[in-house]
A and B are shown apart, each in its own frame.
Chain A
Amino acid sequence: MAAIHERRFVSADPEKCVGCAVCEYACSMKKENVFNPLKSRIRVVRIHPLINISLTCRLCEDPPCVAACPRDALTQSEENGIILVDEDKCNGCGWCIEACDYGAITLHPDKKVVFVCDLCDGDPECVKWCPEEALDFVTSDVLAQKARITAVKRLFVEALKTVPYV
């Protein structure tokens, strides 16, 4: 279990993300030497001017994409949790795309096989470029800690006014 909790993935803070799509550019530049969001492993969604977020692979425990693949083309790395695609086995059927709750795995427009975030060998390019520092390379534990701290701060708004250094 511990190994799962150590897995880090890229997560966007909805409070900070402004929908600029710099992450998409950084990803396709790093991975494919071109600018094209269709070749990015992270995608930005703006549903309303106030609702912006970038989404990429969450390295799910027991990932539904792997389970959905009828050709055993997908496996999850035991080392860092990324989804490995066997491009010889994948035929682009799209079952994994349908299975993913986050739209994180998609069909590559040229190769016609699926592709997904591989964390850039542990140093994600998108995180480095995000001008808003909205992207974090974190474990689910750290995300939970942050959420707890935010929740507690909201509960103690009055007290916080008297202890400005928290």
Chain B
Amino acid sequence: MVVGGSIVYGYAGRILHVDLTTGKVHTEPLSEELARKYIGGIGLGIRLLLEHCPQGVDPFSPENPLILTTGPLSGTMAPTGGNGHAFVAKSPQSYGVGEAKSHGHFGTELKRAGYDAVIIKGKAEKPVYLWIDDDSVQILDAKHLWGKSPAETEDAIREELGDYYIRVASIGPAGEKLVRIAAIINDKTRAAGRTGMGAVMGSKNLKAIAVRGTKDVQVADLEGFQEFVKMMHERMKGPATRKYRTLGTPLNVLVHNALHVMPVRNYNNAHFEAAEKVSGEELNRRFVAKIIGCNSCAMRCEHICVVPEGPYKGTVTRMEYEPLWALGPYCGIDRLDAIIKAMDLCNYYGMDSISAGVIVAFAMDCYENGILTKEDFGGIEANFGNHEALVQLIDKMGRREGIGDILAEGVKRAAEKIGKGSEKLAQHIKGVEVTGYDLRALKTCALGFAVSFRGADHNRHGSYGFDIKGKFDRLKYEKGRAKFVKDMEDQYTIIDSLIVCKFGRGTYYEGFEDFAKLYTLTTGIQVTAEEMRLTGERINNIARLFNVREGLGRKDDHLPWKVMNHPIPDEGPSKGAYVSKEELDMMLDDYYEVRGWTREGIPTLEKLRELGLEEFADIVKAKIGQGA
């Protein structure tokens, strides 16, 4: 709803522009059209990226904008919706759309300060941090913070500005050194982790964004909103969130392992013989000290682990399945205390823990194959399973020391530098490292990964669910499944644009109907379930448009080398599985058809018209003219 020229409910109604080169800041109103068409979060972020990022710029160029967004629910009591924020920029890993969300307490504070989006351009001459104190925006010196971890930075900023309730999102040493997997971390353990957003921030000499907001956040229909929230609270006590409330995502370890769909030792295996030792059950029994919650959440999931004894005694960190898998089984590591330590180091340096683990496993594979030697590693015997090597390699990567300088480039670029066939060991899609689902034996999931607009990722579609829960034959791709992947993608973009937590996705029993209802109650902008679905599709299409504009196409919707060339060797339920070239082609043809794109994966003019995206027709005209 618009009052006096600005949106008043849910949204703050303002976009903040910051130019770090000139030091100038200004605000502009958020139009209702932009809000309605792109919601917020990654939707609004990617739309703004298309407008503010010139074609073909280097991701580390001052021209690449770092865009921070909240969702319309941020700052309200909507369960898990009150707390989200997203970062969007051109990715230094994929050179296409980079985006990462995080939860905690930062997004809610930014909304109360009165902003739906912050667009940061340019590059500061020296290290600085941004201090957003309601309407006052200052660029302050960060020389004394350079080199500190995100957690140390957060404490230091609170101390010097003298307000405990300040929330901080910052980079660590990895972001400063342009480690391409660098994350932006808030509330000490929450990361906007994937696609290298921290490196983009580092390239701007921007150490941190500190926020304090004191304004009211209002919703359009308080009574209806309250009823809806009450219903969601009840649903969140039920089976849809049980996993997250009890063992947490590490429950996946034994589930994936039993099906032989957990990539192990850099995709050499799909089954881990020591899975019991690193299971979610074991983690909870020995290490989980408390489960805490994000702002406005009614289910809480954050399993805080403490190492009580041994060489890593005293380490405290959050743990989820993905980092546990990447830093554990994927590196052949069977010690939870070492995995927790490695996770803590990723937070310390400010790196995506998934990619960090995958890179270490790549390095270990290179070592075992004689591609890299002990000398290359500075004396480390980097065998699979060596937990000391894991910890040391993460240290080196975070500091870009020795071999770490090459590994900090991510597996794709590291393999290009190392050569000697190492590219076959580099498990990535579009330059972004794989996650903990063996794509050889989860073929609906494989399609989702191949076409994900931010590279290898389970969180753009969640289509592993079809395979793992047995809806489809996971070992064989059949035409017609792309429809299901597309529907999931369209839902997931809405989830990331409203910014609600994916752990709560099961509580939206009515899907788009629930999303539309929550959106309308909050903002007063009337939206139907069908419009919401179309918006989900629109957001996937603008992401694709950005990638197409930057030169990505069908060739980039690929799968990692081992997924297509190294069948699962383990005796058991997935033995012999891999994805052939023919199968991948069938998947892509199926998917592009369902999306209404050309055979080369370019959105058609008809599709753009259908989605109200005519303003971007030039992007596809150029490509389709070339015969795509």
Interface residues of A (CB under 8 A from B): 18-22, 25-26, 29, 32-39, 46, 49-50, 52, 109, 129, 131-132
Contact = CB atoms under 8 A, between A and B. Distances in A.
A46 B318 CA distance: 15
Interface of B: 75-77, 82, 105, 112, 165, 188-189, 214-219, 222, 226, 233, 236-237, 289-300, 302, 304, 306, 316, 318
A20 B296 contact: yes
Nearest to A34: B216
Contact of B292 (A33, A34, A39, A49): A49
A20 B295 contact: yes
A131 B289 CA distance: 20
B217 A20 contact: no
B75 A131 contact: no
B76 A35 contact: yes
9 contacts: A18-B290, A19-B292, A25-B82, A29-B226, A35-B75, A35-B218, A49-B316, A52-B292, A132-B293
A25 B77 contact: yes
Given A49-B318, A131-B299, A18 B293 contact: yes
Contacts of A20: 293-298, 300
Contact of B216 (A21, A36, A129, A131): A36
Contacts of B233: 129, 131
Contacts of A29: 77, 222, 226
B214 to A, nearest CB: 5
Contacts of B294: 20
A22 B289 contact: no
Nearest to B75: A35
A118 B534 CA distance: 47
B608 to A, nearest CB: 37
Contacts of B188: 49
Contacts of A50: 289-290, 292, 304, 306, 316
Given A22-B298, A34-B218, A49-B292, 13 more contacts: A18-B292, A19-B292, A20-B293, A21-B296, A22-B77, A33-B222, A36-B112, A36-B216, A38-B214, A49-B290, A52-B292, A131-B300, A132-B293
Closest 3 CB pairs of A and B: A20-B293, A34-B216, A25-B77
A71 to B, nearest CB: 26
Contact of B189 (A25, A32, A49, A129): A49
A39 B216 contact: yes
Contacts of B302: 49
A45 B318 CA distance: 19
A36 B293 contact: no
A109 B304 contact: no
B217 A35 contact: yes
Residue from the set A21, A33, A38, A50 with the largest chain B CB neighbour count within 10 Å? A21
Nearest to B77: A25
A18 B300 contact: yes
A83 B236 CA distance: 36
Contact of A36 (B217, B289, B296, B297): B217
A38 B214 CA distance: 7
Nearest to A38: B214
A19 B502 CA distance: 20
A70 to B, nearest CB: 26
A46 B222 CA distance: 28
B365 to A, nearest CB: 34
Contacts of A34: 216-218
Nearest to B318: A49
Contacts of A35: 75-77, 82, 216-219
A22 to B, nearest CB: 6
Contacts of B76: 25, 35
